[in-house]
Structure 1
Amino acid sequence: MATLNHVFSSAVRFSTRRFGRREYLPTDRTHAWQLHSGYVRMFAQDDQDAIATLGLWRAGDIVGHFGGTNQPCFIECLTPVEATPVNLNNLNQHEILMAQLQQNQGLVRILHQKRVELRLLAFLQWLATQYGCPMPQGTLIDMPLTHQDIADAIGSTRVTVSRLIKRLYSRGEVTYRRHRYMLLGVEICES
C-alpha cells in the first residue's frame, strides 16, 4: 500500500502522541491519524462481539474512520505507536479512502476462500506482499500478529489458526518466532 505523506502537506498539524501495544487510537469523523511508527489494525465489532478486521497500517500511512456507517470502528495498536491527529478537512480524502478500499478488497478476497487453511495461506501471502521483507530463507512479515489477530482477520478461531500454523510449520512452508512469520519457499503473488 502506498504511503500518503504527500496527502497532508497542507494539513493543520497537532502534537504527536504515543500509544502502547493494544491501546486504541481515538476515532471521530473529523480527524484521522498519521502513523509515524508502529502498526495498527482497524476493526469493527458486532453485537455478538465478532470482530471484522478492516485493515492493517504501518508508519507513513493515514488511518481513520471516514463514516458511511454508524457501526463503530476501532483502531488498535499492534505495537507501540507514534501518531499525529490530522484534520480531515485538510486532507485529500479520496486518496485515503482509495488506500483503505484496497485494504478492504484484499481482505475480502481472502475471506472468500472456502477452506480456512487456504484463507490462512492467502492472508500470509497478502501480508508478505504488503509488509514483507525478502530474506535469503524466505519473506519475513515484520508485523507482530498473534494467532487471535490472524483468526480475527480470516474469520476463524484462535485454536484453528494455531493448529494450521503448526501444520504449515511442519511442512516447512512457514516459520515463526515472537509473533513474526516468515514464508519459506512459498511463491508470493502480487495482488
Structure 2
Amino acid sequence: MKRSIQNIVIDAIAFVGFILLTTTGMLMHYILPAGSRRFKTICGMDRHEWGNIHFWISVFFLCCLAVHLFLHWRWVANIFIGKSHERSGLRVALVIIGFIGVLVFAISPLLSPVNETNVERQGCDLCLSQDHKKIQVRGAMTFTEVAEESEVSVEYIIEKLGLPEDVDKKEHLGKLRKEYGFEIEDVRRIICEYKTKHP
C-alpha cells in the first residue's frame, strides 16, 4: 500500500475514533451522569457499560495516533531536531525533557495513592446523635433489613432514591445498585438526613 493511502486510512480511522470518544464522553457526562438515582440505559447499556466502551475507544484512538506518529517519524524528527548545528544538542535535550514532562504529568494520576474514606463512620458522625446506634448499611443487606436496622421506612428510602414502588424490597442492595444506578452511600445519606430531621 502506498504511503499516501496509508496516511489517509490511518487519519480517517483516527478521526472516527476521536468522534466516538467525544460522543461517548458527552453521553456519560450529560445523559447518563454519575450518581444518577434513576435507572437509565441507552441501547440497552447503562453508564458503566458505556464507560467500558469509552475506555476501549480511547485505547484504539491512542493506537491510531501511535501508528500515525510512526509513519511520520522522520518528518517529526526533522521538525524538532532540524539541521545539525551548534544548538542541535540543546534542542534535542529540550524535546526529550518536554516529552518526559508530559509523560509524567499524564501517568501521575495512575501512580498516585488512592485515599479511601470511611464513609459509613463519617456519615454517622455527621448526622447521628449519641442517642442513636451506628447504622450498618451494606450491599449484602435488603431494603427490609436496612429499614429494620435504621428504623426508617422502606417506602421513604425508596421514594428518596427515586426507585419504582414495586422494586423488590427483599433483593440485596448490591444487585439493586447495579440495576438502578444508585450508590450505597445514597442510602446512608437518606437515613442520616431522616435522623437529623426526626431526632
Q: Shared topology, TM-score over 0.5?
A: no
TM-score computed with the length of structure 1 as normaliser: 0.21
Structure having the larger proportion of residues in strand: 1
